[in-house]
Amino acid sequence: MNSSVVMETSLNSLPVRRGKVRDIYDLGDQLLLVSTDRISAFDWVLPTGIPDKGRVLTQASAFWFDWLREPNHLLTTDIEEVELPEGIDRAPLAGRSMLVRKTQVVPIECVVRGYLSGSGWVEYQRNGAVCGIKLPTGLKESDRLPEPIFTPATKEESGHDQNISFERMVELVGPEMSEELRERSLGIYKRGAEYALQRGIIIADTKFEWGRVDDELILIDEVLTPDSSRFWPADSYAPGRGQPSYDKQFVRDWLTACGWDKNSAPPALPADVVSRTREMYIEAYERLTGLSFPWK
């Protein structure tokens, strides 16, 4: 491992807003999204970063934006093409930055589930439905659903996004936008999941974010990455249990096993968990794209 961890960036006097993973710089009618190596779990940002994680997220998103050919906000991932104030060191930004169009963000997480896992599995055990969508009885954890389902959630500034029904989504953003977001999100998931399966990866579920430019809805933020999706190796898939994963489930499992109460400040990750997580993120990128990760 020859990369240092980038936990936070600072670009002189440029206005910045920091999310759990991204540092977002306001450049007027454009934004510079810098994916750091921060990793979050259970609504906490952990004190330990994963080297190159931000680069995996950025490069994977760039691949999908290009492959999907869906209208999106990406302008360039080449930091040398971005106009920045004099004296800024661009080296730490390389590979982890996206210059994007500024949009009016739709306040809904557009979640698509093709398999029964996570909060969907928890809800199904309770009432046989997920976000108000009744499912067949007798399903097991990780079962493939008869058809992918659209299960929106609210976008929360802090804490966990809250699952909502489609009817509640209509109340929040209106019927026309809700229908378009559902149709387009399901379509993108189906195309991406079919492609990924050919590369040996099951995309169990994912979330999309959308923004408006004038009257057009475009895809924004990250797309089909190990942070926004559950990636399972297809060759070891077996319903009825939790699955091995290329995403941050490995970190969640360690945090749960170590006895952390999830209410106090989280512990630092040990070196072997950091190394293994980095390897899984990079392997997911390489399997999906067919490309070698440049910062290996």
Q: Looking at the structure, do residues 138 and 242 belong to the same domain, yes or no?
A: yes
**What letter does residue 229 receive in the DSSP assignment?**
E
Is 195 inside any structural domain? yes
pLDDT at 250: 87
Domain count, the chain: 2
Is 294 inside any structural domain? no
Last residue of a domain, one of 102, 119, 134: 102
Assign residue 43 the CATH number of its domain: 3.30.200.20
Is 44 inside any structural domain? yes
User: pLDDT band at residue 97, thresholds of 50, 70 and 90?
Assistant: very high
DSSP string, 8-33: ----TT--EEE-SSEEEEE-SSEEEE
Q: Looking at the structure, do residues 83 and 147 belong to the same domain, yes or no?
A: no
User: pLDDT band at residue 158, thresholds of 50, 70 and 90?
Assistant: low
Is 114 inside any structural domain? yes
Q: Looking at the structure, do residues 92 and 127 belong to the same domain, yes or no?
A: no
What sign has the CA pseudo-torsion 57, 58, 59, 62?
positive
Is 58 inside any structural domain? yes
User: pLDDT band at residue 122, thresholds of 50, 70 and 90?
Assistant: very high
What sign has the CA pseudo-torsion 163, 168, 173, 177?
positive
Query: How many CB atoms sit inside 10 A of residue 37's CB?
Result: 24
Angle at the Cα of 200 (from 196 to 204), degrees rounded to 5? Answer: 60
Is 272 inside any structural domain? no
**Domain range for 226:** 105-247
Q: Looking at the structure, do residues 94 and 58 belong to the same domain, yes or no?
A: yes
**Token digits of residue 54:** 């931000």
User: pLDDT band at residue 248, thresholds of 50, 70 and 90?
Assistant: confident
- C-alpha 224/C-alpha 275 separation (Å) is 22
**Amino acid type, 223:** V
Give the model confidence (pLDDT) of 252-296 as tens digits: 999 999 999 999 999 999 999 999 999 999 999 999 999 999 998
Q: Looking at the structure, do residues 119 and 231 belong to the same domain, yes or no?
A: yes
Under a CB-based contact definition with an 8 Å cutoff, are residues 293 and 282 in contact? yes
Q: Looking at the structure, do residues 143 and 90 belong to the same domain, yes or no?
A: no
Q: Looking at the structure, do residues 188 and 129 belong to the same domain, yes or no?
A: yes
Q: Looking at the structure, do residues 130 and 98 belong to the same domain, yes or no?
A: no
Last residue of a domain, one of 82, 102, 122: 102
Last residue of a domain, one of 73, 102, 131: 102
**Token digits of residue 15:** 């206005």
Phi first, then psi: give them for residue 170, nearest 5 degrees: -60, -40
pLDDT at 157: 61
Under a CB-based contact definition with an 8 Å cutoff, are residues 244 and 263 in contact? no
Assign residue 194 the CATH number of its domain: 3.30.470.20
pLDDT at 13: 83
Query: How many CB atoms sit inside 10 A of residue 52's CB?
Result: 26
Does the pTM of the predicted model rise above 0.75? yes
DSSP E strands, the chain: 16-18, 22-26, 30-35, 40-41, 44-45, 74-76, 97-101, 104-105, 108-115, 129-130, 133-134, 144-150, 153-154, 201-213, 216-220, 229-233
Give the model confidence (pLDDT) of 22-75 as tens digits: 999 999 999 999 999 999 999 899 999 999 999 999 999 999 999 999 999 999
- C-alpha 224/C-alpha 205 separation (Å) is 9
Q: Looking at the structure, do residues 188 and 137 belong to the same domain, yes or no?
A: yes
